[in-house]
Amino acid sequence: KNKFNLILSSRKKTSISKKFSSQFFSHDFEKNSNNTTLEKKIRQFTNSLQGLIITIAKPFPNKFIHNTDYSLFEEQINIHLLALHNIIKNCLPFLESSKKICTPRITYISTEYLIGSPPIKIAPYLAAKSAASTYIKILAKELIFKGIKVFILCPGMIKSKLTADIPEEYFNQ
């Protein structure tokens, strides 16, 4: 609207890129954890970023903790924490280069369940979100001295593909 670029990245193209007529590239951290690949993809569009909005999630089965295989916890940690780290590591130089024209910002989308009483059967997701939110809190302390502001938003659960298998009672809480 104000002639700012909007670059979207996701594992697969989403309708939001069409809605905003934005540039889009795909990057799957599960298949490609190579840091230089993400940096090269971003560099195709721009040399600086004024902000990042990061929301990471992957569907998971609703099981009690004692019925959850270790691999599910590992998968959630990898996608939430390690992918987040790769995004930050790759995007930080782009954010730093925009400090002459603005205060760069990073906004991480977490979950309100880290604040309140979490529902049962989503332990791998919440454990990974908790690790990622702690990472972001520390990052905020480190980057404020570089002139980059970091925020965490913790919305409630919304109906989406991610939450399709979650019982209605969790939404009502």
Q: What is the CA radius of gyration of the chain?
A: 17
Is pLDDT above 70 for 131?
Answer: yes
Residue of 112, 118, 55, 60 whose CA lies nearest to 87:
55
At 79-111, the pLDDT tens digits run: 889 888 988 998 899 999 989 889 999 999 888
Half-sphere exposure of 172 (CA within 13 A, CB side): 3
Tens digit of each residue's pLDDT (9 = 90 or more) over 14-63? 666 667 666 667 777 666 655 677 888 888 888 888 888 888 877 777 78
Question: Can you give the pLDDT at residue 103?
Answer: 93
- C-alpha 107, offset from chain centre: 9
Look at residue 1 in the predicted model and tell me its pLDDT: 47
User: Token digits for 107?
Assistant: 């906004």
Residue 77: CB atoms within 10 Å = 16
Q: Which two tokens stand for residue 82?
A: 């390690």
pLDDT value at 72 more than 70: yes
